[in-house]
Structure 1
């Protein structure tokens, strides 16, 4: 299997992962077809297929076949290795010279991430169970 960093180093593959992340957040989504990815990203079908093969081999996407069509979904578990590698660089100890200066930006980024996750979760719950369950 290719090194996860090599896989995500390519901009087109990152664009595909972002698109799948956005589409997978819709509870009605059952995957994204190759033609939808081609249309959304404006890249040729052979190029998208080549990148999807790399993403499949890295287990970053799953594929569901339906007749002649293939539907892709994000499988983010392999990105845990990237997360584990990055975390030490994101801690305050990594900024020994100016730890106080690094903390506010980090806190803002964390708050934004938590806020987006909470909003996404609330939207998903509301979509599935209705407005009463989200209160």
Structure 2
């Protein structure tokens, strides 16, 4: 399988993923190649080439109905990116906490830091758990 970072490095593939996310959020059960071509304004061969890469990376699933293929987002492989980037986001939160904490008493700053870290960790764990539920 291709490195997930290489797969999402291409802007057209990110546009396709965003389109599929938006459509799934709107309750659509799959998006045809022709709909993707129309929405993005790129050629059908270009879309097909990128969909092949996304399929191989397991970021999209395909459902066939007759001669039509409908693509849906499969976000599970993005967990690898999420796991990689969260520590960097936490580092940003630490810097923000330090600048805010200077105006708080030490005990309040420490409590705020502990609560903030716990909330961020719980949010991350909950989002990962929800993504793994069937039908999500």
Given the superposition, is the C-alpha separation of residues 50 and 95 from structure 1 closer, same or farther in structure 2, using an over 3 Å criterion? same
Structure 2 unmatched ranges of 5 or more: 101-115, 117-122, 124-136
8 Å CA contact 1:88, 1:94 repeated in 2: no
Which structure has the larger Rg?
Answer: 2
- TM-score, normalised to structure 1, is 0.69
Structure 2 partner of 1:6? 6
Per the alignment, residue 46 of structure 2 pairs with 47
- Count matched residues: 102
User: 2 CA distance for matches of 1:40 and 1:85?
Assistant: 31
Contact 1:92 1:99 survives alignment (8 Å): no
Structure-2-length-normalised TM-score: 0.69
Whether the aligned pair in 2 keeps the contact of 1:61 and 1:72 (CA below 8 Å) is yes
How is 1:5-84 mapped onto 2 (pairs within 5 angstroms)?
A: 5-27=5-27, 29-84=28-83
Structure 1 ranges of 4+ moved more than 4 A: 93-98
Instruction: Give structure 1 stretches of 5+ with no counterpart.
Output: 102-106, 108-113, 115-135
Cα distance in 2 for residues equivalent to 1:72 and 1:33: 6
1:68–1:82 CA distance, 2 compared to 1 (3 A): same
1:84 is paired with a residue whose SS is helix
Give the whole-Å Cα distance in 1 for the aligned partners of 2:90 and 2:43.
Answer: 40
TM-align CA RMSD:
2.2
Q: Secondary structure at the match of 1:91?
A: helix
